[in-house]
């Protein structure tokens, strides 16, 4: 007998006649709030040029800031910027195409994740994956002066987390249900099982291939134009894939195993 998304809901909810069924294309509140946040922050481009540059320096992620040199000590923001820029860089964008590209990828993957996690977990997850992307950028761009900005590390993390349950029957990539909430709450595959799924492996191969070859997404602003911080994407993606279990509120239906993440 074919299983249905509602079969994965807790029994008390499964039999509740008032359970709300929501179309797949309706955005959850947490994702809507996140997109609005990106749009509001992007209004900084309307500031006078000097003030806009100051905003990017104070809230963008700059590897040079973590040097012990006197030059690093002179960055605006002081010691506090060494902490908050691990996250704040991710809500800044260079232009409308930059922010639009990130939002476009968030619509399917971020929507499912926001439904599954709820608002608090979703925003915490986006912050953690942003920090992981910044750390990857710091390790691979030591002493770099160019500020890195963009939500691409968090978007990559959301994509990675979503594939832990996206290919399970009844999930949002099945396209056979109109109940978005139920489709977002199917039990996730353990990591060891997901990495044996050919569909997941194919997705990983395509994603890493696109990022390594084209480096689409997050942008670093420098004196010589724009460059792509693809290492930050990979950092965010790996964090989303590996740390998904810390945020996932949906119980597993498979027996626990020692190697299960």
User: For residues 220 and 29, which has the higher predicted lDDT (pLDDT)?
Assistant: 29
Q: Is residue 22 part of a domain?
A: no
pTM above 0.85, yes or no: no
Beta bridge mates, 220 = 148, 227
Of 177, 218, 224, 222, which Cα lies nearest the Cα of 23? 177
pLDDT at position 5 is: 45
Instruction: Match 């992307």 to its residue by tokens.
Output: 133
Tokens of 3: 């299983």
Q: What is the pLDDT of residues 122-154, one digit of tens each?
A: 999 999 999 999 999 999 998 888 899 999 999
Instruction: Match 């909810």 to its residue by tokens.
Output: 13
Q: Is residue 19 part of a domain?
A: no
Q: What is the pLDDT of residues 75-131, one digit of tens each?
A: 788 888 999 999 999 999 988 988 998 999 899 899 989 999 999 999 999 999 999
Q: What is the pLDDT of residues 214-261, one digit of tens each?
A: 654 444 444 344 566 788 999 999 999 999 999 999 887 644 444 444
pLDDT at position 261 is: 47
Q: Is residue 233 part of a domain?
A: yes
Degrees, nearest 5: CA angle 179-184-188: 140
Estimate to the nearest angstrom the gap between the alpha carbon of 8 and the chain centroid: 25
The number of domains in the chain is: 1
Q: Is residue 17 part of a domain?
A: no
Give the domain range for residue 165.
28-247
Q: Is residue 196 part of a domain?
A: yes
Angle in degrees, 0-180, between the axes of helices 198-213 and 152-162, rounded to the nearest 10: 170
Q: How confident is residue 172, by pLDDT bands cut at 50, 70 and 90?
A: low
Of 1-15, 24-38, 202-216, 226-240, the one with minimum mean pLDDT is 1-15
Q: Which CATH number characterizes residue 49's domain?
A: 1.20.1540.10
Q: Is residue 8 part of a domain?
A: no
pLDDT at position 180 is: 72
Q: Is residue 7 part of a domain?
A: no
By percentage, how much of the chain surpasses pLDDT 70?
Answer: 75
Beta bridge mates, 82 = none
Q: 128 and 55 in contact (C-beta within 8 Å)? A: no
Q: Is residue 256 part of a domain?
A: no
């Amino acid at each position: 007998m074919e299983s249905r998304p509602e079969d994965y809901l807790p029994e008390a909810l499964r039999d509740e006649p008032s359970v709300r069924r929501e179309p797949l294309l309706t955005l959850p509140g947490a994702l809507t709030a996140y997109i609005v946040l990106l749009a509001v922050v992007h209004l900084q481009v309307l500031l006078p040029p000097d003030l806009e540059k100051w905003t990017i320096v104070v809230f963008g992620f700059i590897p040079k800031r973590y040097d012990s040199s006197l030059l690093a000590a002179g960055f605006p923001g002081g010691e506090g910027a060494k902490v908050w820029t691990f996250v704040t860089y991710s809500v800044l964008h260079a232009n409308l195409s930059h922010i639009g590209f990130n939002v476009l990828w968030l619509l399917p993957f971020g929507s499912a994740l926001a439904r599954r996690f709820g608002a608090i977990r979703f925003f915490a997850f986006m912050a953690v994956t942003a920090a992981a992307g910044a750390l990857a950028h710091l390790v691979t761009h030591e002493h770099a002066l160019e500020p890195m900005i963009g939500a691409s590390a968090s978007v990559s993390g959301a994509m990675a987390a979503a594939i832990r349950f996206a290919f399970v029957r009844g999930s949002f990539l099945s396209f056979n249900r109109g109940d978005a909430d139920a489709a977002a709450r199917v039990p996730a595959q353990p990591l060891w099982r997901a990495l044996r799924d050919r569909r997941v492996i194919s997705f990983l191969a395509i994603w890493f291939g696109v990022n390594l070859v084209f480096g689409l997404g997050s942008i670093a602003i420098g004196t010589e134009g724009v460059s792509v911080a693809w290492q930050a994407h990979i950092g965010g993606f790996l964090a989303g894939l590996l740390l998904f279990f810390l945020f996932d509120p949906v119980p597993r239906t498979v027996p626990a195993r020692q190697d299960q993440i």
